[in-house]
Amino acid sequence: MKFFDLLGQYFILMGKVFSRPEKRRIFSRRLWFEMEALGLNSIGITAIISIFMGAVVTLQMAINLESPFIPQSLVGFATRETMILEFSSTVVALILAGKVGSNIASEIGTMRITEQIDALEVMGVNSANYLILPKIVAAVLFFPFLTIMSIIIGTAGGWLVAAFTGVINPENYVRGLMMDFRSFSITYSLIKSSVFAFIITSISGFFGYYANGNSLEVGRASTRAVVISSVCILIFNLVLTQLMLI
């Protein structure tokens, strides 16, 4: 029963979140602020993870596909497909669930226990719409950009490994990157990243908004937000793959 109670609370909160903003100027200002806080500040960790993951995938493929009967270009092909289909959308989203999700839950949870949200409600402000909607819109708009950046940096990391370690010929790696390219794979990855962005921000906002008690509860709300967001990302990854690729 607790699960259905939480689910009902979540949808009720989303109803308040997606009501029309009272002042567009305030919403626009907060939207740009959240795009910087949630998006621009995530570029660094996304880039670092992507370049090393691209390098590791290339090394593993080169080692395990070392055979005179297997063309080296398949290493570049496998690296590209791994980055596009799974890593740059799903794995990056799981990592950002920890960074972005915990930040949102702790920020809103702190506002709840210090009664700042109650003050907004007293002033007649729709606190859910004011606090959560700009975060959701900013993440949904910016996460696809992080996905594209991750794909580019990851494949570049694979090329750097090929060039500096000699595990495969860099020309064969580049040839593999261009082999049998399907543009729908990019569309699939961008759709997944937008869905995951909504999951992370809405669930984290929900747990932060309903935090109560003391500062320990803020920490627990942050932990629950990250765990539930990660589980939902994995579930929806399976569902979207089933719907879009099969």
Q: Is 14 within the bounds of a domain?
A: no
- Reported as a single tens digit per residue, the pLDDT across 57-87 is 999 888 887 777 778 888 889 999 999 999 9
Q: Is 171 within the bounds of a domain?
A: yes
Q: Is 3 within the bounds of a domain?
A: no
Q: Is 6 within the bounds of a domain?
A: no
The pLDDT of residue 21: 79
Query: Residue 146 — pLDDT band, cuts 50, 70, 90?
Result: very high
Long-range contacts of 220-227 (CB under 8 A, 24+ apart): 221/105, 221/106, 221/109, 222/101, 222/102, 222/105, 222/106, 222/109, 223/102, 224/105, 225/101, 225/102, 225/104, 225/105, 226/97, 226/98, 226/101, 226/102, 226/105
Q: Is 1 within the bounds of a domain?
A: no
Task: Find the domain containing 124 and state its range.
Answer: 23-245
Output the six-digit token pair for 11: 């949808």
Q: How many Å apart are CA 15 and CA 53, to the nearest integer? A: 39
pTM of the predicted model as reported, rounded to 2 decimal places:
0.92
Output the six-digit token pair for 55: 């390098």
CB 205 within 8 A of CB 107: no
Residue 22 has pLDDT above 80, yes or no: no
The pLDDT of residue 215: 78
Q: How many domains does the chain have?
A: 1
- Reported as a single tens digit per residue, the pLDDT across 185-242 is 999 999 999 999 999 999 999 999 998 877 788 889 999 999 999 999 999 999 999 9
